Chain A
Amino acid sequence: MIEIKDLHAEVNGNQILRGLNLTIGAGEVHAIMGPNGSGKSTLTKIIGGHPDYHVTRGEILYDINLKKRNIIDMDPEERAREGIFIAFQYPVEIPGVNASEFLRASFNEICHHQGAEEMDPLDFDDFLREKMKVLEMDDKYIHRSLNVDFSGGEKKRNEVLQMIILNPRFSVLDETDSGLDVDSMRVVANGVNRLRSKHNAMLVITHYQRLLNYIVPDFVHILEGGRIIKSGEKDLALAVEDKGYDWLKK
């Protein structure tokens, strides 16, 4: 699905990623753990195509129409249309932009790109309400401005709602668990798990092992100093929870 090779990236003149390699196949869920400042969110933004974050070496190959394509020169919206989705660690608040109208515009852009019919507002409303039920979201979110006056947890739920609606092929979830209590985490994880299939893949970034009890990963990687220093299966997450990161540093 996606193959990240020798990725080096900088922001504002700071080299953050220093030779990151990661391959994620269709149907797989990978988790990345790592201390604060290790470059997890930077990787997210690089995959999304943030204009301030620059790839200085390496490539990101992503399957588009059965061909591997280096996406680093693609606009963020093009990547999104090809099925890449980012659930942000800190979703922005956008006053005046209605959460549901925005999501319908987004959904229709993707439909349009895939040559599917756009959904009219009434049908979309039904579709949206059904997905909101999965995430146990209150109707009121949808009448409000995007993320404005949302609590931390509501923002994260809203990110996952967007993910479920847009049904991406490859999703990155950046610390979606932070700000969620245990009950909310279970609900959100349930929403995410429903999307898992042999056709798509996910990269789950987290600081705590506990999310991985709910979204069980196939592989776990430890990011430190801008590269993956160790990879393993889900018990690696438990070991990190137990012993911290220091024992991994050489």
Chain B
Amino acid sequence: MIINKKPFIQDYDLYVQYLATREKNAALQELRRQGAELFSRVGLPSKSSEDWRYTDMQFLNDHKFNVCMSTPRTELENMREYCTNRKYYSHDDINIVFVNGMFSSEFSDYLNKSISGLEVLTLQEYLKQEDGIQLDILRRNPFDHHFPFGALNQAMLHDGTIIKIRKGATIEPIIHIIHVTTISQPLRKNHCCEFQLQANADKKQNRFKVCSCDELITSPRTIIVAEDHAKAKVLESHFSLIPDIEYFSNAVTDISLQPRSELQYYKSQNESLKAYHVGLTRVWQEEESNFDSFSFMTGSALARNNIDLVTNGPRTRTTLNALYSVNGKQHVDNHTSIDHRHPSAESYQFYKGILNGSSRAVFNGRIIVRSEAQKTKSYQLNNNLVAGKHCRVDTKPQLEIFANDVKCSHGATSGQLNPDEIFYLQTRAIQKRDAIKMLSHGFADEILNKIPLQAVREKLRIFLTPSLLTI
């Protein structure tokens, strides 16, 4: 197994053994086994695969990742401070919080806010329910070799979030799923993760031996189901309390929209600037459902974000908007795929990016219109503001259209700020530097302002401003 052979996951066997001793139900163990098996077979993607042409993941082989099963007290105190003082975390929302990959009941408040029509469960809670014993919700859509990180997420799976919005319900507050990573360097060296302590004891080693925790891996897993006519807003956030720690966050979110349901789904990725983030969001849209999404990305040394959407019924409406802002040597790769399988679908994609320093961005937008999907309208646009001197943008539309009565368009631009715009602002007494900042913010606001929820816009702006600061 690659997980073991090239041990980029440290002590994987011990980890799964440890989990097995704590879990009463074997369903998760079986899922992990399948995930590990598939991932070992496929391995980490390399540039030789078309889907990963611009984003080689082989470098992960040279890392050693660890799982954290308990977070040091001081880190929790930082989190407490963060939750009381920062606008990003708000008690107006329904919060489900994971710290270093572990569910945290302390910061989660969904249990205190019973809202009719909304069901929030952790995966562990779900397992205890009768309908959750077999984990059908996780089995329904197996991962395949196209995206090995899905299998890796499953190989690591121990908890997650399950959200169900019941038939006809409209959930007003934002459902905020937070994945925060916070292990500061000196602590990491002295802190032994629980399972490693146990593992060391098992190996009859010194219980107090300091384990060689290198970098954390977290495997966020989220499932959202909106039933018939249900309406909700979900924000999924990934960030770090420490700006420069290395870790690997490998997230998977599955979203199922039943007929006539509406979901506003925001994913905000602001990981540490030394982290790696791989995210897969899979969406199934039934008849007349509306998926309105926004991906916001400012973090990570390397980030890959896939959205795979399939329509399962006619007259669906899909919006995939995004803003990425990268700097330094950051690399951000977005792959979207919308598979129109039924007639009269509308899909809109507008991805905007700001590149500073010597950052890189990749956009690949796949649009499939099957022969049954007549009267599909599908539009795609990717605009990049290239502010840094040594940036690179690789953008590619990928249209596979098999129906004749469709309207599709795509476009991409990469360019610098318009000197006439800078000049115009200067003639209004605004300094050149400020003019550039104002225009970059304007470029971002054009897409951010499409977010209907002011509370979400304001949250995202908290992360945007520092990412533009060095201009």
Which residues of A are at the interface with B, using a C-beta cutoff of 8 A?
Answer: 48-52, 75-77, 79-81, 85-86, 88, 91-92, 94-98, 102-103, 105-106, 109-110, 113, 145, 162, 166
Contacts and interface: CB of A to CB of B under 8 A. Distances in A.
A75 B429 CA distance: 10
A80 B427 contact: yes
Contacts of B428: 80, 102-103, 106, 109, 162, 166
Contacts of B418: 92
Nearest to B441: A96
Q: Size range of the interface on B? A: 20 to 34
Contacts of B438: 97, 102, 105
B427 A96 contact: no
A49 B422 CA distance: 12
B439 A97 contact: yes
Nearest to B449: A96
A195 to B, nearest CB: 16
A95 B439 CA distance: 8
Contacts of B446: 95-96, 145
Nearest to B431: A77
Given A52-B419, A95-B442, A95-B443, A102 B426 contact: no
Top-6 shortest CB links A-B: A96-B442, A76-B426, A96-B445, A97-B442, A96-B446, A80-B429
Contact of A77 (B429, B441, B442, B444): B429
A97 B424 CA distance: 12
20 contacts: A77-B432, A80-B428, A81-B429, A86-B427, A91-B424, A92-B420, A94-B424, A94-B442, A96-B445, A96-B446, A97-B439, A102-B425, A105-B434, A106-B428, A106-B430, A109-B429, A109-B431, A113-B429, A162-B428, A166-B428
A80 B435 CA distance: 14
A145 B442 contact: yes
Nearest to A146: B442
Interface of B: 418-421, 423-432, 434-435, 438-439, 441-446, 449
B149 to A, nearest CB: 34
Contacts of A79: 427
Given A109-B428, A110-B429, 18 more contacts: A49-B423, A49-B427, A51-B419, A76-B423, A76-B427, A77-B430, A77-B431, A92-B421, A94-B424, A94-B442, A95-B442, A95-B446, A96-B444, A96-B445, A96-B449, A109-B429, A162-B428, A166-B428
A101 to B, nearest CB: 9
Contacts of A96: 441-446, 449
Contacts of B426: 49, 75-77, 80
Contacts of B434: 105
Given A51-B423, A52-B419, A106 B429 contact: yes
A52 to B, nearest CB: 7
